[in-house]
Amino acid sequence: MLIRALTVADIPALLAIETAANPYPWTAGVFKSCFGSQYFNFGIFGDEQLLGFYFGQFIAIESQLFNICVRSDQQGKGLGATLLAHFIAESQLRSATEAWLEVRASNHAAIHLYQKHGFIEAGCRPNYYSSATGKEDALMLCLPLRFAN
């Protein structure tokens, strides 16, 4: 397994994974907009194939996890945990004091993963996500960090 920074050339592979794994996937335009200097985006590769990815942002003293996704046929193998640990380490390298994310209230597997890594619930955004039944709440999770300096 290899984790490396993503580039815009990876967008077709990102779209394939995102579209297969999410009922409301990001578009190519959204992916493309997340390649600025404030973003840090990494993918995990096996046999030169993209298996999963995350998109993070660092501003001032906080990092935010915008998207984390693992290829459907690779889920349940610990790749999500590996990517999340990498996001946390990259946040610490940037001297972030906190890492934040939002997650669908119904995504119990993701919530369990985040809590296992120390994230705590810090709030709720009612009716934040689109869903098959209309709207769904987003839970806001925070991880206080000790930076590496």
Is 6 exposed, middle or buried, given 0-12, 13-18 or 19+ CB atoms closer than 10 A? buried
For residue 62, indicate whether it is catalytic. Answer: no
For residue 136, indicate whether it is catalytic. Answer: no
Choosing from 18, 54, 90, 114, the catalytic residue is 114
Choosing from 62, 102, 128, 129, the catalytic residue is 102
Nearest to 83 by CA among 74, 95, 64, 70: 70
- Active centre residues (catalytic): 102, 114
